[in-house]
Amino acid sequence: MLIDAAHRKDTRIRENVEKVELYLSLGSNQGDREHNIEIALSLLNIELKTPYKAVSSLLETEPWGFESQDKFLNAAVLYELFLPKGYNPEAEGLMILEICKDIERRLGRTGRPQYNERGERIYTSRPIDIDILLFGDNKIDCEELTVPHKLMYQRDFVMTPLREILTESARSKYDNKN
């Protein structure tokens, strides 16, 4: 249950709320890539009920895990969410994942993730991809969601923008170059 700015002003609510840092990764290699990322950020601001706290610069990268002429633009974004104390990390994480997937669909991404016979992901071009990298200090490992993101440390296109916006405390815990 995300708490918006108007409700955060209510002192009774404020005392029972905690601030949680959410880091997302965004990537686009189809259509107007910069525009796709801008629209995704505006929709995230609305759905997460708060404007983003920090956004990285855009990084152009080669597709990862598949061949294509169409390079990606990648970015990372930080939101400070306000959640009720004692919130359920998995339930909230899945709700955020649903917001991300819904924005992917609204921006024209179609179909479910595809896997080869060895159970590995088949990656394809996409107008927008939004992944959850970090959600406070929560560790989530369920069928639909793994946080911290399983592959983030293997992907420079994720870590380079993320390093631009990591707060000091998050850097000490989650930057593998420390």
Contacts with ligand AMP by CB under 6 A lie at 97, 113, 129, 131-132, 144-147, 149
Q: Of these residues, 14, 129, 141, 156, which one is catalytic?
A: 129
Catalytic residue among 14, 109, 155, 163: 109
Is the CB of 92 or the CB of 129 nearer to ligand AMP? 129
Active site residue 137: no
- Is 126 marked active-site? yes
Annotation marks residue 131 as catalytic: yes
Q: Whole-angstrom Cα distance, residue 56 to residue 159?
A: 11
CB of 141 to ligand AMP, least distance (A): 9
Q: Which is nearer to ligand AMP, 21 or 129 (CB)?
A: 129
Enter the tokens of residue 58: 């855009």
129 is catalytic: yes
Residue 113 or 119 having the CB closest to ligand AMP: 113
Phi, psi of 138 (to 5 degrees): -70, 140
Length, in residues, of the chain: 178
Compute the least distance from the CB of residue 118 to ligand AMP, in Å.
17
Alpha helices per DSSP H over the chain: 5-8, 11-14, 33-47, 89-106, 156-165, 168-174
CB of 19 to ligand AMP, least distance (A): 20
* 146's tokens: 């793994």
Residue whose CB is less far from ligand AMP, 86 or 113: 113
Q: Which of 33, 131, 163, 171 is catalytic?
A: 131
For residue 113, give the DSSP letter.
P
User: 148: cis peptide before it, omega within 30°?
Assistant: yes
Angle between helices 33-47 and 89-106 (to 10 degrees): 140
Q: Which residues are catalytic?
A: 109, 126, 129, 131
